[in-house]
Every structure is written in C-alpha cells, then in structure tokens.
Chains A and B, each alone.
Chain A
Amino acid sequence: MALQSLDIKARSATTTPTPQARGAIPVAKLIDISKCIGCKACQVACMQWNDLRDEVGDNVGVYDNPADLTAQSWTVMRFSEVEVEQGRLEWLIRKDGCMHCADPGCLKACPAPGAIVQYANGIVDFHEEHCIGCGYCVTGCPFDIPRISKKDSKAYKCTLCSDRVAVGLEPACVKTCPTGAIVFGSKEDMIHHAEGRIADLKERGYANAGLYDPAGVGGTHVMYVLQHADQPQLYADLPKDPHISPLVALWKGVTKPLMSLGIGVAVLAGFFHYVTAGPKEVEEENETD
C-alpha cells in the first residue's frame, strides 16, 4: 500500500470494498463567520500552497474578488450586505469552498474510477489524473463548488490540503487566518469550539446563532458558525437544507444497477440461445459473397 497515505472510505465508480478495519479521527475545518474580517489571506495562502495563480480579473463593483470560484481559485470570500433587522446593516462575509460532505454528491455522480476519493478522516479529494472532465461532479454538488479547468478540462476544488493533513499539518487557509476565524482539528473538537462561540454570540444578542453542519448531506467536514443560523440563505445563498439532486440519486442509485442487470440478462439470454438453438446456419452462397 505504498500509494496510500490516508485510508480511503469511498472511491468514485469503484465497487471493490475499501479497507475498513483501521479507524481514523474525522477532521473538520470550522469557519466562524462572526470573526471573519474578509482580508482574503486564506485565498492567497490557498493559491500559494496549491501552486495556483488565477487571472487578474476586473472589479465587478463589489468586494468579491475573484467574483466566483474557478479552477484556480478554490476558495473565495462572498460578501453580503443584509439588513436582518430594520436599520441594522450587517456585513456577512462567508468563505466559500468545498464543504467536504460526509455523503458527497460529487463522488456519487462521478463515473471515472478513482477521480474522486473520500478519505477515512472525511476529506473529499479530486484526483485529476483519473478525471475525464465530464462535469457530473458539478451537477452532483449541492453547493456548486467544483469547476472545470479551461486549461486541461479537468475538475478542481479545495482538497482541504489533504497533502498537509496527511503529514499532520493544518490546511494552509487555517494556518494563515489572522483573526482565528478558521480553525482546524478533530470534528468533535470543532463542534465543541463552535458551541463556545455560539454561546458567546447568543450573549451578544444573536439569538439565532448556530452551527451549520447540514444533515441532508450527512454532515460536513467544513462547518460554519452563523450569527443567523435560521437563515443561512443570507450568507450568499448558503442552502438551508442541502441534499444531493434526486436525479443523481436516481441515475446512480436505481438506474445504473438496473442497466447493468439488463445487459447481464441480454448476455445470458444470448448464451442460452446459442446453447439451445445453436448458431445461425448460413447458406453456402451467402458465405462466399
């Protein structure tokens, strides 16, 4: 197992069971939106560590820069100006990027064996060398995260710095965050840390403060502390109840095994037809044509 630096939980389009005997501590990144000042050090650190350099874009009139995730920008800050209460403007800044779902829609949708891998610690990683660039992961993702590169037509997204976590380091964005809005550790510790932050926010008048760890995708390994957990859509349309598209579930859940079964039946029927009815006899003059 020389290739394997982290145990695998799931691998796209692979039916072989993965090794399950060894336990791994689930990790998580917690993003405390109430502490974020929108400095974008995480964006820079991400690009630096992952050897990415996006094109210098144009100002689109808001602070979002780049305006959207790209194959070269795996995380972006999304700035929302909202008036939750009349006369009280709030500037909500959400660090967008892969949520590392426990039930990853991208992995379910992916038809390329080994292009998407879920490690036992919860990280969902793309392996571009196996990617066929079909874009099913983009459709499968409830958070609209993966982006297809224009350079090589392969899908890219945040890896939660799986190469750093594999050697016992924290992700680059977590390390650089000057305000400590991003923290990293075991999922259990992160939930505990979030509880403290939520209690503090509630004391300061945010009655609906809470943790964003949506159950619809089995929980996530990137979680948010939200001041207004009852309205996640305030934060640049963070979905309230994300779930994998029913089309992906239907296609990969029901249709695919049925199709495989159908082809298997056709092969068997052909075989038995050959055994019972024998090969098709051809007239001598047709054969010599």
Chain B
Amino acid sequence: MQVTRRQFFRICAAGVGSSSLAALGFAPGEALAGVRAFKLARASETRSTCPYCSVSCGLLVYSLGDKAKNAKSEIIHIEGDPDHPVNRGTLCPKGAGLLDLVHSENRLKYPEVRAPSSKEWKRISWDEAFDRIAKHMKADRDKNFITTNDQGVTVNRWNTTGLLASSAASNETGYLTVKVARGLGIVALDTQARI
C-alpha cells in the first residue's frame, strides 16, 4: 500500500484521537465482575480430628478430586468442623495452619530408627518397627520388673519404661491404652497433651 506523508500523518492523528477518546471513557466497558471461584465446590470433604492438643477440635479436610479410580487425592484445604461440639468450626492458629503440617518437608511419614552411636536415621518397615519396639520392651521389662516391694507386698511395677499416649484418642482407644500399659505394669502413663 502506498501512503503519502500527509496520509501517514492523518492515520496517526486518527489513531491517537480515537484511542484517547476510548481511554477517556467514551467507549465504556461492561459493569460486571465475578468473585474468585469457590475452590472447594466439588472437593472431597473428610471429617478428622486436629492432632495437636487434647482439646481435639473437629476438622474438615478437603481434598482434590472426587476419589474416582484415576484421580489422585491431595489435601488442598483444612478448616474447622462446624458440627463438631468441641470447637464448632473454630481453630487456633496451629490448627488453622494444619495444611502446612500435612505438606511439611519435615513431616515424619514412616518409622525411622537411629541406632545407638549412629548419627543417621534409617527408614524401616512398620513390621520391623513393631518387632523392634516389642523386643526392647520385653528386654527392659524382663530386666527391671518389680514383683514385690520391701514389705513383700505384690506390686508388679515396671518403672523403667513410660508410655506417651495420643491426646486425640477416643474413649475406646484411651481404655485400650490404659489396659495395655497397666497390664504390663507401666506406671508412667500420660498423654502428649501435657508436653
């Protein structure tokens, strides 16, 4: 296309003029806007309990996907459970930040063992872990179990091992914990809520 000098100036002036007019509001935009899409619309909702303290607040854990066969779930949001009688939807700052606990790089995901005099933590299977715990418990109990006290009264105490139970356990779990620990003679039994 041939454009003379004068035509070029005219095109420039028309372009600047019309775009300035549009910018000044003579070509108004539509007055509409939408909020950010609600991110939990079809996420899976799972009830759970906060792992931190003994208050044991109810949680709603939201995960990506509808649990279809080919969808890999991933926790995307956690908030308080409004139907839970303990917290009725509220959460303290630790509970409110649980999503970052779930995704923390430092989170313990499997049993690990640090052997005596070793600096390294080594991953072991759950079976190995249970066997190891049972062996250590048995060895310690066989060595230190006290059947009678100075007066000859039967006491059946195992004073050298303590048990730290979950603070978020239900009544039934708590009952079983006490039954197992006391049955073995453990005296030092507490929950992690008191740490």
Q: Count residues of B near A (Cβ-Cβ below 8 Å).
A: 36
Assembled-state Cα–Cα distance A127/B33 (Å): 8
With A44-B97, A48-B78, A176-B91 as given contacts, are A5 and B34 in contact (CB-CB < 8 Å)? yes
B112 within 8 A of partner (CB): no
Write the A165-187 contact mask toward B (1 if CB under 8 angstroms, else 0). Answer: 11100001001111010000000
Q: Tell me if A33 is interfacial: C-beta within 8 Å of chain B.
A: no
Q: Is A49 an interface residue (CB 8 A)?
A: yes
Contact call B93/A44, Cβ cutoff below 8 A: yes
Are A48 and B97 in touch, CB under 8 angstroms?
yes
Asked whether any CB of chain B lies closer than 8 Å to the CB of A6, the reply is yes
Does B25 touch A at the CB level, under 8 Å? yes
Please tell me which one of the listed residues B5, B32, B80, B99 contacts residue A175 in the complex, with CB atoms under 8 A apart.
Answer: B80
The proximity string for B residues 30-63 relative to A, scoring 1 for CB distances below 8 Å and 0 otherwise, is 1111111111010000000000000000000000
A208: which B residues are within 8 A, CB to CB? Answer: none
**Which residues of the other chain, B, contact A48 by a CB distance below 8 angstroms?**
77-79, 96-97, 99-100
A127 to B29: give the CA distance in the assembly, Å: 15
- B76: nearest chain-A partner, CB-CB: A51
Chain B residues near A159 (CB, 8 Å)? 35-36
Q: Is the CB of B79 within 8 A of A114?
A: no
B50 CB, min distance to chain A CBs, angstroms: 12
Nearest-CB distance from B56 to chain A (Å)? 14
A43 near B79: Cβ-Cβ < 8 Å = no
Verify B31–A163 contact, CB threshold 8 A: no
Residue of A nearest to B99 (CB): A48
Chain B CB count within 10 A is highest, among A44, A180, A263, A287, for A44
Given A40-B93, A41-B90, A125-B33, 9 further pairs, Cβ under 8 A = A8-B31, A11-B33, A14-B28, A18-B31, A41-B92, A45-B96, A48-B96, A125-B35, A166-B35
